[in-house]
Amino acid sequence: MNTVMKRIGSSILAQAIISLLLGLFLLLWPAATPTTLVIILGIYIAASGLFSVLGYFRQKEEERKTTTLIGGIFLVIVAIVLFVVPTLIAAFFALIIGVFVVIGGIANIIRSFEIRKYGGFGWPAILVVNILIVIGGLLIVFNPFGSIILFVSILGIVLIANGAINLFTYFMLRSAVKKLG
């Protein structure tokens, strides 16, 4: 039993440390996080494009397909764009997410009125929540990068709180194991 408790405790401690470190990173550098993800995506796309171009030239001339070369060059160009303007690309992705959130919220607002029409009792709550979702989506649409930074900052705070709770749990568990023997 003591060994199992120690294993659980070490797992909780590791989760706490990772959560605290990641939370601090997100909280201290929220603008870097979306940009970093775009750069990582750019590295992947660049590698895919380069492998396509190299694969084209490694094939026998009669087996080469022009589409492979064109596709590879296109991927390299896309990667270059991602490397040159990663912040703009991150904001663009946020804009797309914001549009989808607005559309989904509007669809659910319409559904709440349908629920009302058929005598559903929870329609006002559904309506209010979805109005808030549409407002949130509009905030993302009109300030995409600021919205991402806010979201990343909130995520950082949540991770720090989670890490603190896990750390507290670890010390409580360690204390309980010591009491048991």
Q: Output the CA angle 3-7-8, nearest 5 degrees.
A: 115
Q: Which two tokens stand for residue 66?
A: 């022009």
What is the pLDDT, as a whole number, of residue 33? 81
What is the pLDDT, as a whole number, of residue 63? 80
Distance from the Cα of residue 52 to its chain's centroid:
28
DSSP 118: T
What is the pLDDT, as a whole number, of residue 21? 92
* Closest residue by Cα to residue 12 from 133, 128, 172: 172
User: One-letter amino acid identity for 128?
Assistant: V
Distances (CA, A) of 84 to 35, 46, 48, 90, 141: 11, 13, 18, 12, 23
Judge contact between 76 and 49, C-beta under 8 A: yes
| Dist. CA 164–CA 157, nearest whole Å | 11
Q: Which two tokens stand for residue 76?
A: 């390299």
What is the pLDDT, as a whole number, of residue 181? 65
What is the pLDDT, as a whole number, of residue 1? 52
pLDDT in tens, the chain (181 residues): 566 666 677 778 888 899 899 889 988 988 888 888 899 999 999 999 999 999 888 888 888 888 889 999 999 999 999 999 998 888 888 888 889 989 999 998 998 888 888 777 788 988 999 999 999 889 888 988 788 888 888 888 988 998 999 888 888 877 877 887 6
* HSE-up of residue 166 (Cα within 13 Å, Cβ side): 20
Burial of 65 per CB tally in 10 Å (0-12, 13-18, 19+):
exposed
What global pTM score does this model have?
0.61
